[in-house]
Amino acid sequence: MTIAENIMARRSPVPNIRGGVCRAITVALLLSTPLGLQAKVDPASVYEPVAPTIEQARANILIARQLQFTHFRDLNISDELSANVFEAYLDYLDGQRIYLTKADIEKFDQIKGQLGSALKTGQLQPGFDIYNLVQQRVIERLKFAIGVIENGIDKLDFTENESILVDRSEADWVADSKALDELWRKRIKNAVLAQRLSGTKDEAIADTLLRRYEGQLKRAYQARSEDAFQAYMNAFTGMWDPHTSYFSPRTSENFNINMSLSLEGIGAVLQSDNEYTKVVRLVPGGPASKQGELQPADRIVSVAQEGEKPVNVIGWRLDEVVDLIRGPRNSSVTLEVIPATASDETMTETIAITRDEVKLEEQSASKDTLHLQRGGKEYTIGVITIPTFYADFQAMQAGDPNYKSTTRDVRELITQLKAEGVDGLVIDLRNNGGGALHEANDMVGLFIDKGPTVQIRNANNDVQVLVDEDPSVAYAGPLVVLTNRMSASASEIFAGAIQDYGRGLVVGSQTFGKGTVQAVRPLNHGQLKITQSKFYRVSGGSTQHKGVIPDIEIPSRIDKTRIGEDALEHALPWDQIEAVPHTRYYDFSSIIDELRQRHDQRFATSPEFSLLQKEIDFLTKQRATDRVSLNLNERREEYEQIERTRLAIANARRELDGKPPFESLEALEDWQDQQAADLASTDDEVDFIIREGGQIMADMLDLNSRMASILTPQQLAAQTPAVTSSP
């Protein structure tokens, strides 16, 4: 977590560990007037090259020094680094290889190996030369696209047996501008086909595409020196790790607003992803999270205010997209997104979200109970869901005896569940992106007598050990912790400690793997967010990169190749340090194989799991699609098959819920829109993953009578001696 995030935790009930977010801004923090609609651009306009400033050169020198002498990773600025910076910079500017040609790339050969030495001394011109050439090529391509549309999309032939590569990030650079013309002709055909298949008329398609390309062209002509500098610096800082990044003065302003105010908007964390703005994660309790359609890794294509036409935001700066999404409470904003599951960037969905404030009580821990029958005996299992690790520091500092925090709320919920006579407890940390570190430390203390909870190592190899010094134990009985890929930072610290102490089983999917700590440092021009420490478990292994591996795994819809620390370029590796003495309360090795076998048997006959697996298989197939047809008939067949599968999966879920099926995909989408408009309509039914956590708990109670009663802290601590190795 960053220093700034610690500040935020004192002022706002927002998670203050970013769970793998790099170069991110939280959307819609203040009330703001959205940017105006795009204007047409004179095709005769001339691009004015941008140039570095003295302030930027000084900031560059300061950044280089900070990276070399204070970053956790020991990395020298070398010729090899120069080549990597060059590749990362090109990836940011033209990640899909649709603007530059092989001849353009060859022009850069002379400076490719010299960027490192230039970056050491604030010589920014080479980076700006690359930026200016890319902008010129962007303008050329967009003018070509506008010309194709204005010539009439009815001139495009959709009977040819053509296809287009979906992801060109690893493709060869095309030879020349003629080859680029052919590539862009196919891109336009692909965009037209996607809208035709969704029922849009050609006139509307042409209007949409013209506004898209004219908007991007306008942004290209409006390029600023700061755009080039921020892109170049982030290609440079990203060599150390993905969470080290440069914030321009404008981005710093947004970041500092985020740190100091409660959220008011849609509640989503965004980052730049080449020419798109990508959703990193959703804030628990926020409008987007409650609405349910927007998902991590979705890319935003356009933004529409209530009653207005959509504004295409492809190619926009991140801060400007944030400004556009901001707006007053209770107003509506509609996002057109490319879903993370889409096989093709022309496949978009529209999502209407009502802006609102993210309230602390909606992020608070909550409880439920499960009642399971086993062999004539009924087990009552308590469930505590924790969306984030929060603390109301303002109320605490004001002396409010009833201030809210994760640990205080969970302690009270445990008291209530024990009064209900629960036989075991499930802690649900799925989608919990982290938060206040001290809350993770204190919450571990609710389940252990006392002892270390996490180790923090800095660049000098100094290790700080956080310790729970409170000998009281709120709950000493059997425990299951649920995790998924979006469980990050503080969640991983808690889950890892519970696993290391043998206090419970971790069930679900591998966590995010965000095990680094950042600090935000001021520069003469903007700020630098820099990684300075790493988290380690009490058993010595880091939570970085690897995360927490569950004892019993449950498949997830989330694509691990796109989301997670190990999906990020230049992420710090997993490693380990010395374990610290800690008590091993229970050895699950004698029962874990039987627990897994029973779990597998249940899932083999579970209709919910069968449906989940169908969804995963469908999404995997979609993600694996590398080419799409540009033949109308072939593409229609592909499209209809996808739509039939979507409807079948939705109706299978409706059947499981005892609800009537949707007659058509349109009916499904109308229902989704209705749900989106009514944020108060929530489904309180416990999902089947939580129920499976309860079933695993019942198995634990069946298999080992030692766990069938809640032990006293003294009995619990006396079970086994302290150990210093990982379980």
Which residue among the candidates 189, 218, 514, 546 is catalytic per the annotation?
Answer: 514
546 flagged as catalytic: no
Reference 608, options 560, 640, 649, 565; nearest CA is 649
What are the b/e assignments for 47-62, b being 16+ CB within 10 Å? eeebebeeebbebbbb
Cα angle at 320 between 523 and 294, to 5 degrees? 115
Is 404 designated active site? no
DSSP output for 272-301: EETTEEEEEEE-TTSHHHHH----TT-EEE
Is 407 within 8 Å of 439 (Cβ atoms)?
A: yes
CB contact at 8 A, 565 and 512: yes
In this structure, are strands 479-483 and 424-428 parallel, antiparallel, or unpaired? parallel
DSSP 8-state symbol, 660: P
The amino acid sitting at 135 is Q
What is the sign, positive or negative, of the torsion defined by CA atoms of 419, 425, 426, 428? positive
Helix locations, 293-405, DSSP H = 318-325, 360-363, 393-397
Buried b (16+ CB within 10 A) or exposed e, 66-89: bbeeebbbeeebeeebbebbbebb
Give the integer Cα–Cα distance in Å for 111 and 531.
29
Q: What one-character DSSP code corresponds to residue 101?
A: B
Catalytic residue, chosen from 343, 405, 489, 491, is 489
Q: Dig out the tokens for 646 from the structure.
A: 């979507």
Q: CA 369 to CA 383: how far, in whole Å?
A: 6
514 catalytic per annotation: yes
- Helices 225-237, 54-70: inter-axial angle, 10-degree rounding: 10
Cα–Cα–Cα angle for 562, 567, 573, nearest 5°?
Answer: 165
**Catalytic one of 319, 423, 500, 699:** 500
Give me the active site residues, please.
489, 500, 514
